[in-house]
Amino acid sequence: MVDHGRAMLWYKRAVEEGDVLAGFYRGRLALNESSTEHDMASGVYWLQWSAMLGERCASEALVELYSSPFNSPPDPERRLYRFWRDFAIDQGSSRAIAMRDADEVSSLRLAEDN
Task: Provide the pLDDT for residue 109.
Answer: 79
Give the CATH number for residue 76.
1.25.40
pTM of the model: 0.88
Alpha carbons 26 and 21: distance in angstroms, whole number: 9
- The pLDDT assigned to 108 comes to 79
pLDDT of amino acid 70: 77
- Domain range holding 105? 4-113
When the pLDDT of each residue in the chain is averaged and rounded to a whole number, the result is: 93
The number of distinct structural domains making up the chain is: 1
Distances (CA, A) of 56 to 4, 43, 75, 95, 108: 24, 16, 21, 11, 28
Report the alpha-carbon distance of residue 70 to residue 52 in Å, rounded.
24
